[in-house]
Structure 1
């Protein structure tokens, strides 16, 4: 079974998508999210999806490099004739007291996903989280002293503010 078939299997096993869904795909420019973009575009017809829209958030942390990643993602979205929503923020100015840079970035990302989904008319947002991300999340929660209930990892599907957030690469 190739990787795209494994993604399709994960989507079906967790009932992530339904016909006529409009899917916002979170793409950073990294390998996982670029593969997610390619796989979702390839599976669009098979899954009978209404529309795919790419979103990209530049946290302003890596300067020129992150701007180049955003341009790369925009170009790829245009090559695939997909909509593109982009936002640049200065995370250092947005950090709340008590939040690490990583926690603040995550908070901003999910707020942006919600804004972008509303703007695109999307009812689903897809992220490129993989098994490695799952293991990292659980390990970090253990290190931080989470209870047994608190070490539950990333859910493959969850609802947030009326948007279904899915992780099609969850089993890769």
Structure 2
């Protein structure tokens, strides 16, 4: 099996993610970063975006598993129907890629970090990506990064 590229290898909405990360750094009340000042703390907005983009395959890649494309299209359509958004051709891998990148950029917003729709959709996308790339069904991907988040 040829390994498909991940979203982070193709594109990442840096400008939007950076804007959310800057805003997050200025939050002074109710944010986890106010509990302890860590000298090299990374904004959770950027960490959340990078982790999603690293775990999800690029649906525009010819090696992307059909299972992921089909389920990602279904999940993104359901998400769009709940939250609103522009109409898309869900059968087009490049358009599905853009929908996932838009989702990642919006999920980087601190206000969406605990939103049920964003959390459920991102968890489902991560699970289907894991299983369609050969992960054991019912297990979760192992993500290890000691430099992510609060340190």
| TM-score calculated relative to the size of structure 1 | 0.24
| TM-score calculated relative to the size of structure 2 | 0.26
- Relative CO higher for 1 or 2, CA cutoff 8 Å, sep ≥ 6? 2
| Higher strand residue share | 1
